[in-house]
Structure 1
Amino acid sequence: MIQKHMQAPHSADRVLIEGGNHRQHADYSFQRDDGIATITAEEQQNQIIAATIQFSTLWNSQFVN
Structure 2
Amino acid sequence: MAIKRKKVRGFKANQKTIARRQGISKKRASSILAAGARKVGAAAKRKNPRLMKVSGVKKVRLKKR
- TM-score, scaled to structure 2: 0.33
Q: Which has the higher contact order (CA 8 A, sep 6+)?
A: 1
Q: Which has the higher helix share?
A: 2
